[in-house]
Amino acid sequence: MSVFMQAAEASGKFPVYFVAVYVIGFIAAVTIGSIAWYNSKRPVGWEDVKKPDYLPEIKTNKETDTNK
C-alpha cells in the first residue's frame, strides 16, 4: 500500500482517469446486473411483482423456440 502512496506522491497528481474507470465500471456493472436480475425468473414470493416499464424485454432461447 505504501508503494502506491509513494508513487502517487512522486507524480504529484492524483490519478483521476484511473479512478474514473473504476467508477464508470462499477456503475455499468450495477446497471447490467439490475437488468439481468429483473429479467430473470422471479424468486419465491416475487412471482406476481410487475417488472418496471423502463427495463427492456429480453427474449431467451427457450422463449424463441416455443414461439415457432
- Across 17-39, b (16+ Cβ under 10 Å) vs e yields eeeeeeeeeeeeeeeeeeeeeee
Q: Which of the four pLDDT bands, split at 50, 70 and 90, describes residue 4? A: low
Please compute the mean of the pLDDT values over residues 28-54 and round it to a whole number: 82
Alpha-carbon gap, residue 39 to 28, rounded angstroms: 17
- If one compares 9 and 45, the residue with the highest pLDDT of the two is 45
pLDDT of residue 48: 78
- pLDDT higher at 17 or 48: 17
